[in-house]
Amino acid sequence: MGYLVGAGPGAADLITVRGARLLGIANIVFHDALVDPAMLELCPQAIKEPVGKRCGKLSSAQHFINKRLIDAAQKHQIIVRLKGGDPMMFGRADEEIEVLKKHQIEVEVVPGITAALAGAAAIQQSLTLRGVSRSVAFVTLAQGTDKLNSTDTQAQSIQNPQADTLVYYMGRKDAANIAKQLIENSPNHTIGTPVHILEAVSTQNERHWYSTLGELAIGKANNWFDSTSPALIMIGEALREEQQVINQTAAQTSNQELSLQSPCAKFDDGLQNSLILTDSRRSA
C-alpha cells in the first residue's frame, strides 16, 4: 500500500494526525528535501530515503523516484511518500499516483497544510477580505527540467493570473520581474499594492519582508532573500497591515465629514454616526 502524505509547511508538529500515524507504521519513507528532520523522528522503524528536488541543486529525477516507489512496493507492505506542504499542490503527485496505479498498487493521499495557508496564519491576515479581495491564486513559476533544456526554460514567460490576492511559490529568483509585470499588466495591482514575503514559514528560521509592489519591482528584496530557505511571495490589498487599514479608514471618514460641513448645515446625529467606519469590515 502506498501513501502520499503531506508533511505540512515546515514545523514537525503541523503534520496531520493521520500523517503522523502512517509515519509510525511505515516500512519505508521517501521524503522531500525540505522535510524537517524532526518529522523523520516520527518513523524510527522505517528506512528513510531522501528524494527531494531543489532548484539549482542536484535533485532526484521524477522517473527515478517513480521507479523506486514501484520497487519498494514489491518489498514492503507500507510505503510513505512524504511530500512538503500538501501532496496535491505543485508536487507532481499525479505522476506518482498514476505510476503506482498502473502497477496495481493501491494509493491513498493524506492532505497537508500548504505554505500559503500557513503564511496567512503566520501574519494573522486572511488572503481574502470582504469588499476588497474575493479571489486567491496560488502560482508557481518553477518549470520541470526533466525534459527541458536551459534554453527552453529561459524562454518561458511569466503569466500572472487575474486574481485579487496572488501567492507565488518558488518565485524568489523572479520576484522583481513578477512585480514589474503585475504593475504593467494587472488591473488589480499597482506600485502601492502590499507585498508580504515569508521565508521558512512555520519554522524557527521564519523571516518576513513587508513592503509594496513598487519596491519589489526595483529589487529592494533581492539582497534580503536567503537562497537556502523556501520563500513565499504574497501580493494583494487583503495583506495591507492592520494599522494602515485603520489609518486609511480614518482618513476616508474625516474627508467624508469635511465634505458634509457648510455654514448652514444641519446634521442628523444618526446619519453622522453612520459615516464612522469600524474595522469590522475585516471580518471574514
Predicted local distance difference test score (pLDDT) of residue 187: 85
CB under 8 Å to 248, separation ≥6 — which residues? 240
Q: Which of 32, 36, 86, 164 is catalytic?
A: 32
* 68 φ, ψ (degrees, to nearest 5): -65, -35
Predicted local distance difference test score (pLDDT) of residue 77: 94
Predicted local distance difference test score (pLDDT) of residue 216: 97
Tell me the pLDDT band of 124, cut-offs 50, 70 and 90.
very high
Q: Is the pLDDT of residue 88 over 90?
A: yes
Could you tell me the three cell numbers for 123? 501574519
Cβ–Cβ < 8 Å for 177, 219? no
Q: Which of 53, 83, 86, 164 is catalytic?
A: 53
Predicted local distance difference test score (pLDDT) of residue 248: 53
Whether this model's pTM surpasses 0.85: no
Query: Mean pLDDT in the chain?
Result: 82
In the chain the domains, ranked by start, together with CATH numbers, are 2-113 (3.40.1010.10), 116-239 (3.30.950.10)
Cβ–Cβ < 8 Å for 15, 112? yes
Tell me the pLDDT band of 269, cut-offs 50, 70 and 90.
very low
Could you tell me the three cell numbers for 50? 531522501
Active site residue 75: no
Active site residue 53: yes
Tell me the pLDDT band of 27, cut-offs 50, 70 and 90.
very high
Active site residue 1: no
Predicted local distance difference test score (pLDDT) of residue 258: 47
pLDDT in tens, 194-238: 999 999 999 999 999 999 999 999 999 999 999 888 999 999 999
Predicted local distance difference test score (pLDDT) of residue 54: 59
Q: Which of 39, 83, 86, 170 is catalytic?
A: 170
Is 280 or 260 the better-scoring residue by pLDDT? 260
Tell me the pLDDT band of 279, cut-offs 50, 70 and 90.
very low
Predicted local distance difference test score (pLDDT) of residue 34: 86
Q: Per residue, what are the HEC states of 140-165?
A: ECCCCCCCCCHHHHHCCCCCCCCCCE
Predicted local distance difference test score (pLDDT) of residue 281: 38
Averaged over 262-282, what is the pLDDT? 39
